Structure 1
Amino acid sequence: MGKKQPDSCGLGPALEVIGGKWKALLLWQIHKAPARFGELKRLVPDISEKMLIQQLREMEADGIVHRQVFAEAPPRVEYSITDFGIELDNALIPLAIWGMQHAGRTDRQWPGKADAPAPHAL
């Protein structure tokens, strides 16, 4: 038998797609409703514009969000969740529940703590 890889439990690939500070929060917002860049910036105010651009590009490349450009003047761009993204977002629900149950056990602040997402598929 070969040596087990550290990500053999499945967390490695999952964290590769959703890892980082912002992607789960952005995915949550986009799952609620398709959103434009400016809307996402307002909904997640602590994220820098550069980081928002980077995170959305990575999420699009990973297939969890869809970027649609409307042929208007000026062009309008809207981000929506894909079926693959919905599947990932639903997989994060138990983690969100755990986080809400244990939020008081840490003094760490996280972005969007004031309007923490309520699980949407309980």
Structure 2
Amino acid sequence: MTQRVPRVELTPAAAGLVRRLREAHGPLMFHQSGGCCDGSAPMCYPDGEFRTGGSDVLLESLTVEGVEEPVPFWISASQYEVWCHTRLTVDVVEGRGSGFSLEAPEGVRFLIRSRLLGEQ
């Protein structure tokens, strides 16, 4: 039997930030709509605040220890075409990102790191 490989993972630092944001804002969601490579920034919103539609793909529902509900990770269909063969890791780094992502006031931003699906 083949074990399912998650398409999206969180680093421990990112999971810790998700727990803090969940406590402050309620259920969360991620959306990745731009960027072509490592260093792109997914946006984190209260779940349902960003409206997804037919041009979005639910890539993964992340299970985060200490968070009751899964955290959906959406990606635009055009981004999915670029990254469909990759495994994404959401990390957190110092420095404010742009936009309305919930972590911006914390002085940090989420960041994508990627590798091919078959790589360890």
TM-score by length of structure 1 reads 0.25
Which is higher, the Rg of structure 1 or of structure 2?
Answer: 1
| Greater length-normalized contact order (CA 8 Å, ≥ 6 residues apart) | 2
The structure richer in strand per residue is 2
